[in-house]
Amino acid sequence: MRLPGLVLPVLLVSAVACGGGAPSGSEDGGAIDINGAGATFPYPIYSKWFFEYHALRPDVRINYQSIGSGGGIRQLTNRTVFFGASDGPMTEDQIAAAPGAILHLPTVLGAVVPIYNVPGLAADLRFDGTLLADIYLGTVTKWNDPAIARLNPGVALPADDIVVVHRSDGSGTTFVFVDFLSKVSPAFRERVGVATAVSWPTGVGGKGNEGVAGLVSQTPGSIGYVELVYAEQNRIAHGAVRNAAGAFIRASPAAVTAAAAEAAANMPADFRVSITNAPGEAAYPIASFTWLLLYEQPEDKARSRAMVEFMRWALTDGQQHCEALGYAPLPPEVVSLELAALERVAVS
Amino acid sequence: MNGTLRRKVISALFVGACALAVVAALVPLAFILFFVASQGLQAISLEFFTGTPKPVGEPGGGMANAIVGTLMLVGLAALFALPIGIMTGIYLSEYSGGRFSSAVRFATDTLNGVPSIVIGVFAYGVAVLPFRQFSALAGGMALGIMMIPIIARTTEELLLLVPGAMREGALALGASRARAVFTVIVPAALPGIVTGVVLALARVAGETAPLLFTSFNNRFFSTSLTEPVSSITVQVFTYAISPYEDWHRQAWAGALVLVTIVFVCSLLARLATARVARIRD
Amino acid sequence: MNLRSPDLGFRLSAGAFALALAAIVVAIGVELTRQSWLSITEFGFDFWRSSEWDPVSGEFGALPFIWGTLYSSFAALLIATPVALGIAIFISELSPSWLRTPLVFLTELLAAIPSIVYGLWGIFVLVPAVRSLQMVTPEFLRQLPLFSGPPLGIGMLSAALILAIMVVPFTSAVAREVLRTVPNTQREGAYALGATRFEAIRAVMFYARTGIVGAIMLGFGRALGETMAVTMVIGNNPQVSASLFSPQHTMAAVIANEFTEAADDLYLHALIEIGLVLFVITLVVNALSRLLIWTMAGGGGTAARAKA
């Protein structure tokens, strides 16, 4: 009669031992399960890619969770996921902390847009880097502030408080946004700096691009920053931003491609490059590559093979899904550099 | 005379205030149930139970993978918690005196008070990092740790309710302590214990925080113990903070499923205990 | 001798499981300490005092989170306690017996609703309602530090309200158990002396005061560790502010938000140290409240031990 009480834990222990001890079996009835995590910025296109690719190759299931770029880097370093994704390239320290060489593979280009929820506006708002920096520093606090009125002549602005919304998690979207603000505003560089997670002087934190878009669409008088697709899919107003050449540009795939033109011609070997505040009359200033992060020598070769095959597909056929989701496809010269770099990933 | 009147008025006001407190708690309950039911019923469909999530922003899809995931996690939690919880409860009721029992009882109450998020951090440290893998097992373990104190305490309380005469009878017939416990005392309390276990299962099925970084989440249908799995709660969280209308609807549908599970379990437990009480009387 | 040995075997094997339970509690403490060691050695006591939470420069201080946790829990307690005690008194002392079971069932249901469902309801129903409330708050009130800041809806007030709703059934269940342990002679004695209902209940409450305080503290302990519902409505902004309208942060919420995302070791260790602090605080609060309830129940009695 005492047996049931004792047999159960023994079974459990052995189940844990077998399950945990096995080399995280990727072969599950012939299917290959690959886990990845990271940036929310490319989440819409990644989830589209993994969905489409699963239809194409039913044996490959790539599970991607958008936990933020900081998280992607962390979990990749801990090897709790097979691949990571980030909108900010890994820092030298982070690369040194990783247990193996990591390949940065640009997948698409995206734009971060300032979104706002100001009821009753007649026209789309225009911003420049200094103004956005001042709003996020908490020095501009009302929607009818002269600094906003000056850039938006003829727009009737309400006297409401500005509710600043930023990310509460580590985020590549934040990285791209503060990278731009720090380039144009010395005060912002001094006070906040550039990283995937920063110490904000003011505002409300939302988790993920989804969280920030959710907060802004729910909160009258708010301003936030999200990846373009989140603004478009939710029909949240987003403003034009003044670029380095002085033109006000609304984010679009073409304007992002224009921003990437110079970087594409001078791509460094490790693909880690910033394209915010890019020169060029048509360039949208808050644009970035987003990277998928892979170990060059992964332990699990079956997964590695599947992942490399997927990457080849994503860099070529996969690029056709970009524009519908508000991303800019990679310039062809970058694609060919990457296809060559993929050879470095060990598959057998 | 005047003084008596004043005292009566104060007393009546006090009784009114207590009744008002009951109303004050039941109004939010009614509100929450109303919103979950009305929003959830609009959103729920057959696809919700059979489909898996669609790519971001595309309408449709369902939570089949999350429903199966939750069942898996709760099953694993039970497997983990039942032996420890029930045996601890038996120990505490059989050997209630003594320093060790007091220490264990204190540990039980402490464990019951540990915030679920802290248990998640613990499970990440001992069940995710060493194996370099988010997994259903890690999530099940986190939930299991939460279940242990509930089960231990319920078991102890119910065993103590078993009439002493039953135990004495068994012992007098020459049964060993173990035999008396497992053939007489535990069977007598079994309906109550089962009820307690069902309630504990319902409670951990609604947990989110300990799963965020243990069982993680999975877009696909997975029944592997060593892979991340989806759960209704984590999926509702992901959908709730998103900006997509369609995902909000799915979050409400998920909430409806969760509340239904909790409601049915509580109701069954209530009916079961009512019956047990009547039999005992 | 021959008769005793199977009993000993039984005692030892059952005791082993009990020991496993205790070991889990110890293991949680050890593991949290081990995993936060970098932060403990780097910041020492400054960790508790500093309000700097800056992953860029690697400066971590837990003060805003401790503040937000205590503030939200106290505010919730302030709202929840009168309601919870009112319910406990109503059910155990005043209610007609046919109403008792349904009321107990409904309050238990309130306790059983998952945190995530509260959060969902909070985002879509409570927060907009609180925002409208803030919009109509008169200007002279908004000059006060308690009500300063723009009307977001999201923030301390929403968090406190939702926590209060969640704590009520918990505190009232324990208080009800405590009231049940008060001997009937107390009530009969009071009535015999010509007391009104209020006066009799006051006598009962006085008799049960230690246990009642324990029940309130247990509710407090529950509020401290609540994660999902709070993180969804509090605004996740680490600042030490007195305002009910301002977005703030709590210890449990920062872990849920940033745990998987902490990119370097010191950051992760700082987060786990917050978990350790939370663990220690809840441990102390629970120990104190259990002590009070046990004292009340006459030491080691199980009747008054919390059910919820």
DSSP C245-295: TS-B--HHHHHHHHGGG--SHHHHHHHHHHHHHHHHHHHHHHHHHHHHHHH
Alpha helices, H only, chain A: 3-21, 43-56, 69-77, 92-97, 129-137, 146-151, 172-184, 186-191, 208-218, 228-233, 253-265, 301-315, 332-342
Please report, as a single letter, which amino acid is at residue B122.
Answer: F
Q: Which residues in chain B (107-126) have CB-CB distances under 8 A to chain C?
A: 107-122, 124-126
Q: Is residue A192 in some structural domain?
A: yes
pLDDT tens figures, C31-81: 999 999 999 998 988 898 888 887 777 889 999 999 999 999 999 999 999
- Residue of chain A whose Cα is closest to the Cα of C53: A199
Q: pLDDT band for position B1 (50/70/90)?
A: low
Sheet strands (E) in C17-88 = 53-54, 59-60
Contact C7 B22 (CB under 8 A): no
Q: pLDDT band for position B213 (50/70/90)?
A: confident
Contact C257 A207 (CB under 8 A): yes
- Domain C66-264: give its CATH architecture: Orthogonal Bundle (1.10)
Contact A205 C265 (CB under 8 A): no
Q: Is residue A76 in some structural domain?
A: yes
Partners of A325 in beta bridges: none
Q: Is residue A63 in some structural domain?
A: yes
Domain that includes residue B239, residue range: 46-280
Q: Residue C303: what pLDDT?
A: 40
Q: Residue C262: what pLDDT?
A: 75
Residues of B in Cβ contact (< 8 Å) with A63: 217-220, 222, 227-228
* pLDDT tens, per residue, chain C with 308 residues: 444 566 888 889 899 999 999 999 999 999 999 999 999 998 988 898 888 887 777 889 999 999 999 999 999 999 999 999 999 999 998 989 899 989 998 998 998 999 999 999 998 899 989 988 888 888 888 888 888 877 778 889 999 999 999 999 999 999 998 998 888 888 888 989 988 889 999 999 999 998 899 899 989 999 999 999 999 899 888 888 899 988 899 999 999 888 877 777 888 899 999 999 999 998 999 888 878 877 766 543 344 343 33
Structural domains in chain A (count): 2
Q: Residue C129: what pLDDT?
A: 92
Same domain as A53, residue A80: yes
Q: Residue C298: what pLDDT?
A: 55
**Token representation of residue C238:** 């680490």
Q: Is the pLDDT of residue A206 over 60?
A: yes
Same domain as A120, residue A95: no
Work out the percent of chain A whose per-residue pLDDT is above 90: 50
Worst-scoring range by mean pLDDT, A193-207, A214-228, C264-278?
A: A193-207
pLDDT tens figures, A323-341: 888 889 999 889 999 999 9
Contact call for residues B211 and B224 (beta carbons, < 8 A): no
Contact call for residues A78 and B129 (beta carbons, < 8 A): yes
Same domain as A254, residue A117: yes
CATH number, position A125:
3.40.190.10
Residues of A in Cβ contact (< 8 Å) with B82: 8
Q: Is the pLDDT of residue A19 over 60?
A: no
Q: Residue A25: what pLDDT?
A: 39
Final residue belonging to a domain, choices A260, A279, A307: A260
Contact B241 A210 (CB under 8 A): yes
Q: Is residue B39 in some structural domain?
A: no
pLDDT tens figures, A305-324: 999 999 999 999 999 999 88
Same domain as A170, residue A69: no
Question: What is the average pLDDT value for chain A, to the nearest integer?
Answer: 85
Same domain as A164, residue A227: yes
Q: What's the rounded Cα separation, in Å, for the pair B122 and B104?
A: 20
Q: Residue A220: what pLDDT?
A: 86
Q: Residue B259: what pLDDT?
A: 94
What residues does each domain of chain C span? 66-264
C-alpha C209, offset from chain centre = 19
Contact B91 C14 (CB under 8 A): yes
Domain that includes residue A315, residue range: 32-110+288-344
CATH number, position B132:
1.10.3720.10
Q: Residue C299: what pLDDT?
A: 41
Q: Is the pLDDT of residue B266 over 50?
A: yes
Work out the percent of chain B whose per-residue pLDDT is above 90: 51
Q: Is residue B194 in some structural domain?
A: yes
pTM for this entry: 0.85
Contact call for residues C225 and B146 (beta carbons, < 8 A): no
Q: Tell me, yes or no, if B95 comes closer than 8 A to chain C by beta carbon.
A: yes
Question: What is the average pLDDT value for chain B, to the nearest integer?
Answer: 89
Same domain as A175, residue A138: yes
Of A44 and A310, more confident: A310
Contact call for residues A171 and A212 (beta carbons, < 8 A): no
Question: Which candidate from B80, B228, B243 shows the least CB-CB separation from A63?
Answer: B228
Q: Is residue A6 in some structural domain?
A: no
Contact A74 C54 (CB under 8 A): no
Worst-scoring range by mean pLDDT, A250-254, B33-37, B271-275?
A: B271-275
Residues of C in Cβ contact (< 8 Å) with B106: 287, 290
Residue B45 to chain A, least CA–CA distance (Å): 22
Q: Is residue B34 in some structural domain?
A: no
Question: Which candidate from B11, B32, B103 shows the least CB-CB separation from C121?
Answer: B32
Contact call for residues C78 and C156 (beta carbons, < 8 A): no
Structural domains in chain B (count): 1
Q: Residue C235: what pLDDT?
A: 84
